[in-house]
Amino acid sequence: MIVAKNLHKTYRRNADMVRVLNGIDLEVQAGEFLSIIGASGSGKSTLLHLLGTLDKPDEGTITLEGRRVENLTGWERDRLRNEIFGFIFQFYHLLPELTMFENVMMPMMVNSNMWNWWGKRKEARKRATEILERVGLGHRLKHKPRELSGGEMQRTAIARALVARPRILFADEPTGNLDAATGDGIVSLLRDLNRQDGLTIIMVTHNLELVSTTDRVLRMHLGKIEPYRASPILGHLAEPVALAIPVEALDEFGEPAVTLPFSESGKLEPLRASG
Ligand SMILES: Nc1ncnc2c1ncn2[C@@H]1O[C@H](COP(=O)(O)OP(=O)(O)OP(=O)(O)O)[C@@H](O)[C@H]1O
Ligand SMILES: [Mg+2]
């Protein structure tokens, strides 16, 4: 569905050059739930922004269903983002003057002109209320962002990303500010949308329990992307999903120094009995 080839991105700031992506190749299938991990600053958000046409690579190509998209300009890019993509940004990007309800309505309004909005606004209101209820915010429709907790803003941002029924969801740490139970709820919502509606999801996360529920895990490191590898040592563990990683086992990047049992392809390996 999405194929990225040889993506390069370097940020320049005065004399400083920060080479963030250094030849990324990535193929995402329709209906896949892919997760991306990697140390802070490794370029995960940058990659999502490029794939979602919010920013352009210095070099390389991105195709969506066979069509080149990395060089689209103007309304074609806007249309793609409004109709096909949903974004959950790492820092929410909610509009401060709008209520939660209005923030969530926004993508549907953007997709309409004044004339067809009139016909569809009732349906749109119902949809916005429904999705806010699904993320557990039915009681916060009239609040503005400053009146909400971080986790509530995050859940509003999730509702906003999903409201227009995108086909591809880019989720940048969607559970970063949520307690474990709320985070689990959000991920099972994403899972349902993935299984039932065939929503393709590309999710960046630091939460290793969450990645183990996704179809494939990739890791960004030194500007490249690689499958998150199997560990021969832990390959026999009966419950890799529930594995708690003690702090001492994290490396200098805050990532586990021990690796969870994913296979070469990045998929979770079938469990094997030890011995
Ligand atoms: N607009 C920009 N101008 C200059 N440097 C930038 C810009 N955006 C990102 N960078 C740099 O690029 C690197 C990668 O940033 P990015 O946001 O993609 O990392 P990340 O993997 O998402 O990190 P985190 O896990 O902390 O969110 C960082 O070192 C950052 O400082
Ligand atoms: Mg980021």
Q: Is it the case that residue 266 has pLDDT exceeding 60? A: no
pLDDT of residue 229: 57
Q: Which amino acid, 233?
A: I
The 10s digit of each residue's pLDDT in 87-116 is 998 888 899 999 999 999 988 888 777 778
Tell me what pLDDT residue 273 has: 44
Domain boundaries, the chain: 31-56+72-228
Q: Determine the average pLDDT of the residues in 237-252.
A: 44
Of all ligands present, the nearest one to the C-alpha of 171 is 2
Average pLDDT, the chain: 83
Local confidence band at 254 (pLDDT 50, 70, 90 cut-offs): low
Looking at domain 31-56+72-228, its CATH class is: alpha beta
Q: Is the pLDDT of residue 42 over 90?
A: yes
Q: Select from 9, 44, 204, 255 the residue to mutate for testing ligand 1; criterion: most ligand atoms less than 8 Å from CB.
A: 44
Question: In degrees, to the nearest 5, what angle opens at C-alpha 187 toward C-alphas 183 and 192?
Answer: 150
For ligand 1, pick from 12, 17, 18 the residue to mutate: most ligand atoms within 8 Å of CB: 18
pLDDT at 230: 42
- Give how far the C-alpha of residue 236 lies from the chain's centroid of Cα atoms, to the nearest Å: 30
pLDDT at 251: 59
Per-residue pLDDT tens for 140-186?
999 999 999 888 999 999 999 999 999 999 999 998 888 888 888 88
- pLDDT confidence band for 48 (50 / 70 / 90): very high
Q: What's the CA-to-centroid distance between 172 and ligand 2, angstroms? A: 7
The pLDDT of residue 234 is: 44
Q: What is the mean pLDDT of residues 27-48?
A: 94
What share of the chain has pLDDT > 70, as a percent? Answer: 83
Q: Is the pLDDT of residue 65 over 50?
A: yes
Structure tokens at 148: 């909400």
pLDDT digits (tens, 9 = 90+) for 205-234: 988 878 888 999 999 998 999 888 544 444
Q: How far apart are CA 82 and CA 22, in angstroms?
A: 29
> Tens digits of per-residue pLDDT, 3-15?
999 999 999 888 8
Q: How far apart are CA 20 and CA 18, in angstroms?
A: 6
- Dihedral angle at the C-alpha atoms of 188, 194, 197, 200, nearest 10 degrees? 150
> What's the confidence (pLDDT) of residue 255?
58
Contacts of 89 (CB under 8 A, 6+ apart): 157, 172
Ligand 1 center–CA 143 separation, angstroms: 31
pLDDT of residue 261: 43
What phi, psi does 166 have (nearest 5°)? Answer: -70, 165
* Cα(217) to centroid(ligand 2), Å: 16
CA distance 151 to 176: 8
What is the DSSP secondary-structure string of the chain? Answer: -EEEEEEEEEEEETTEEEEEEEEEEEEE-TT-EEEEEE-TTSSHHHHHHHHTTSS--SEEEEEETTEE-TT--HHHHHHHHHHTEEEE-TT----TTS-HHHHHHHHHHHTS-HHHHHHHHHHHHHHHHHHHHHTT-GGGTT--GGGS-HHHHHHHHHHHHHTT--SEEEEESTTTTS-HHHHHHHHHHHHHHHHHH--EEEEE-S-HHHHTTSSEEEEEETTEEEEPPP-TTTTT-S-GGG----GGGB-TTSSBSS---B-TTSSBPPP----
Predicted pLDDT at 76? 86
Residue 274 predicted with pLDDT over 50: no
Cβ atoms of residues 245 and 212 within 8 Å: no
Q: If you measure from the C-alpha of residue 194 to the centroid of ligand 2, how many angstroms do you get, rounded to a whole number?
A: 23
Task: Identify the pLDDT of residue 186.
Answer: 86
pLDDT at 131 (0 to 100) = 93
How confident is the model at residue 238, as a pLDDT? 30
Q: Which protein residue's CA is at the shortest distance from atom 1 of ligand 1? A: 11
As a whole number of angstroms, the distance between CA 34 and CA 119 comes to: 37
CA torsion 137-158-166-101 (nearest 10°) is 40
Q: Which of 15-19, 114-118, 248-252 has the highest mean pLDDT?
A: 15-19
| The model's pTM | 0.81
d(CA 31, CA 13): 38
